[in-house]
A = this chain, B = another copy of it.
Amino acid sequence: MSKPASFPAPGDKIASEEGTIFAPRFDADGLVPIVATSAATGEVLMFAYMNAEALARTIETGEAHYWSRSRGKLWRKGEESGNRQRVVEMRTDCDQDAIWLKVEQSGADAACHTGRRSCFYRVVPLGRAPDSALTLIWVDAERQFDPSAVYRHGDDAKGTLKGSE
């Protein structure tokens, strides 16, 4: 972990899509989007970003590390809350610009800084053009922990200060 994380430069279309070299494609901010799902249930738990260092640490340790855009820092999931994510499997997509993690959550089994298991606890109703009557429907929204009792500085998923990860 002493030398800086580095990955091969992305190859051409054929190499990216049909090759075996992992050459992740970071965006202009040096980040790659991450989808974390529950290895147990398949539900989407959270959406976040990694920079190269977070990705390298996740690969090496098998513990999910992310890049907090709001706080501008690397963070190991659960470093404050105790709600860690062990990565059961990591996959990359066709053009290697997105990552899917299947994780096992420890601690309170909560990915979301609001205390919920998943960040996706509200359904958007379908079937008519969205207008002011469109109202979100709450599902699976029970809190697994009380965020005000866990976070001192908002130091976990999405922070608690800015409301964006």
List residues of A whose CB falls within 8 A of some B CB: 1, 5, 7-8, 12-13, 16-22, 25, 33, 35, 37, 41-44, 46-47, 55-56, 58-60, 62, 87, 89-95, 97-100, 112-114, 116, 119-130, 132, 134-136, 138-139, 158, 162-165
Q: What are the residues of chain B within 8 A of A162 when measuring CB–CB?
A: 13
A93 near B60 with CB under 8 A, answer no
> Contacts A5-B130, A13-B163, A44-B100; is A158 near B94 (CB within 8 Å)?
yes
Count of identical protomers in the assembly: 2
Q: What are the residues of chain B within 8 A of A37 when measuring CB–CB?
A: 37, 42, 44
A1 near B89 with CB under 8 A, answer no
CB-CB nearest in chain B for A161: B13
A164 near B122 with CB under 8 A, answer no
Question: Which of B12, B92, B125, B134 meets A122, CB within 8 Å?
Answer: B92
Q: What are the residues of chain B within 8 A of A7 when measuring CB–CB?
A: 130
Query: Binding site of A, secondary structure by majority: helix, strand, loop or mixed?
Result: loop
Q: What are the residues of chain B within 8 A of A128 when measuring CB–CB?
A: 59-60
A124 near B47 with CB under 8 A, answer no
B164 near A127 with CB under 8 A, answer no
CB-CB nearest in chain B for A112: B94
> Contacts A91-B123, A94-B112, A95-B158; is A130 near B47 (CB within 8 Å)?
no
Question: Which of B5, B62, B126 meets A87, CB within 8 Å?
Answer: B126
